Every structure is written in structure tokens, then in C-alpha cells.
Amino acid sequence: MPEALWFFIGGDRTDQISGKMYQKRNLSEELKHQIRNGTMTNRLIIANVSIFLLIHLLLAVVRIKGNSQVDYFVSDLFTLTASWEGLLFKPWGIITNIFAHFDLFHIFSNMIFLYFSGRLFEQLFDGNKLLIVYLFGGILGGLSEIISSSVLFPLEPVHTVLGASGSVMAIFTALAFYRPNMKVFLFGMLPVRLFVLALFFLATDLIGIGSKDDHVAHFAHLGGALFGYFAMYNIHSNKNILARIEDFVVKRKGLFKKKPKMYYTRSDQHKSDEQYNLDKKKKQKKTDHILDKISSSGYDSLTKEEKDFLFNQSKNG
């Protein structure tokens, strides 16, 4: 059963790595399981969908009771006002807006994009890095929208910004810069390189700048893309922006905690430093070979052993 279907309906499933059978779970139990043990991609989707439902629950109260104060409360809580004054008086909006959607098509398209981009990102990196790119890409996207409104369109009415588009654009652009020649199959049949798709999305936003009719925060998308580029710039250096943020947040603040490894035990502590480094180098070489194979022939060209190895590396990274 495809993971997307399993996630929504629950049921018995055999784990591809361990061969163990999961116990049947209802929707509520499955949601709890995903929140506690799921991938960061699934957790972000759950957060977005939960806030979407909360927003519409509050708006339903507005319609039933005619309480306009609730309407203003929802707008103030979940949107970012694209002005410096708005940021000053509603600073939380720079965060809450990247999880908020009012329109069904808006959240559907963003979550589909997040699902596929996030899964691919977590195969190459880990969930902590995905969360950093999501949050900071969205923040830079919001700031870009404020700056553009203040500098380029100072006479235009102040507008509000919401949605995960800037965050998702950051994730996708990071992938495109890290593995530009990796092929993805649109509609399951049309092979397109990541950098081609990224250029198409960037060109669409650049062309749309200044349009008053599409109601799209193009500068938020471009700001997110900019962070995605910086996230991959000099990625293997400890001076990389992701490494700096992760070092600050993980090691000093302890906001992220490593998940316990499932179905896997390490015996590295019994190895000499020389043997450990040799094994690590071999694993990295094998990982690079698999990623090159994906770039040239697509993910479906991998053997089951290669897919399992890549899955384990992403979980243990």
C-alpha cells in the first residue's frame, strides 16, 4: 500500500526494512504515531492541515454567531501584514503565516509539493535540516515580501501574506542546487531535471512580479528560494548556514532531540577510530554512488538493497 494511502487510512503494513508487522491503528492512533515517530515531512503536513481545520472552525463560529471579532482574531493570528508596522505589532505572523491556509486548493497544492519535496530532502539529509529550511525559508520569504512592498510598491495598499509556498520553495530550490541533474518524473512518465523545474518556478515568479490580479506573494517565493540556495552553498563546510543554525539550535538550545534508532543497533563504540572512519568512508562512497545513479536513471532504477541502504542512511544521518 502506498505510504500516502497508509498515512490517511491506517491498517496492517509490513516494514520494508525489518519485515515486522505494524499493529492496526485507527486514524487517531495513526496521527499520534506520525507525530511521535513519523518523518519531519509528515509532521509538517499534519501541522499545516491541523491549523487549516482550526482556522475554518473559528470562521464557522463567525458565520454562525456573526462575531466579527473572531474574524479579526483569525486574521491577526495567522497572517503576516506585509509592512514594517505590521511586523512590529504582530511579530508572531512571520512564523504563523507559513503554516496557515484559508483556501482548499492553496493548502492542497502546497502539501502535495511539500510531500514529494520533503521526502526527497529527507532521503538526502535529515529531518532537522528539513525543518530548518522550512522555517527559515518561510521567514526570509515573509521578510522579502515586506521589503518589496516597502521599497518597490510603497503607494500600494498593505496586503497580508500566508501559506507554506515560500517554505516549500526553499526546500525545492535547495534540492535543485544540491542535485541539479537529478531527474523527477512528472505525472509518473515525463523525466525532468530538478534545475529545469526550479528555473521554471523562478521564472514564473519573476514574470508575475507587479501583477495585482493573481494574489500571489511572488517575493515570498523568491525569498524562500534564496534561502534554499544559501542552505546548499558550501554544504559540506561547518561554515554552511544550515550547519551554523543546527549547531546553535541543537547543541546549545536542545530544541531538537535525536529520535531513537529503530530496528538498528550500532557497535561503533567497539571499533577503533581507524576502523570507524574507514567504515564511514565506505558508506559515504556507496551513498554517493546511489545518488549518482538516481541522478542519471531516476529513483525507480535502484535495487531494493540500494533503496534500503539509502533509507537507513537517511534515518541514521
Q: Per-residue confidence at 14, pLDDT binned at 50, 70, 90?
A: very low
Report field, pTM of the whole predicted structure over 0.85: no
CA distances from 170 to 58, 123, 173, 232 (A): 30, 16, 5, 10
Quote the pLDDT of residue 259: 54
Specify whether 194 is located in the same domain as 113: yes
Residue where a domain stops, chosen among 220, 240, 259: 259
124-145: pLDDT as tens digits: 888 889 999 999 999 999 999 9
172-208: pLDDT as tens digits: 999 999 998 888 887 777 888 889 999 999 998 898 8
Domain assignment present for 210: yes
How many domains are contained in the chain? 2
Domain assignment present for 120: yes
Domain assignment present for 139: yes
Domain assignment present for 72: no
Residue with cell 520533503: 118
Specify whether 108 is located in the same domain as 239: yes
Cβ atoms < 10 Å from Cβ of 257: 8
Identity of residue 116: F
- Domain with 145, as residue range(s), is 77-259
Q: Per-residue confidence at 31, pLDDT binned at 50, 70, 90?
A: confident
Specify whether 211 is located in the same domain as 281: no
Quote the pLDDT of residue 314: 66
Direct distance between the N- and C-terminal alpha carbons of the chain, in angstroms, rounded to an integer? 26
Q: Is the Cα dihedral 119, 38, 40, 314 positive or negative?
A: negative
Q: Per-residue confidence at 110, pLDDT binned at 50, 70, 90?
A: very high
Residue with cell 536542545: 254
Specify whether 230 is located in the same domain as 298: no
Q: Per-residue confidence at 216, pLDDT binned at 50, 70, 90?
A: confident
Q: What is the CATH number of the domain that holds 164?
A: 1.20.1540
Specify whether 177 is located in the same domain as 315: no
Specify whether 222 is located in the same domain as 124: yes
Specify whether 191 is located in the same domain as 116: yes
Specify whether 275 is located in the same domain as 254: no
Mean pLDDT over all residues of the chain? 79
Domain assignment present for 175: yes
Torsions phi, psi of 185, nearest 5?
A: -110, 105
Specify whether 155 is located in the same domain as 92: yes
Specify whether 301 is located in the same domain as 195: no
Domain assignment present for 59: no
Residue where a domain stops, chosen among 241, 259, 277: 259
Mean pLDDT of 235-260: 71
Domain assignment present for 48: no
| Residue 310 predicted with pLDDT over 90 | no
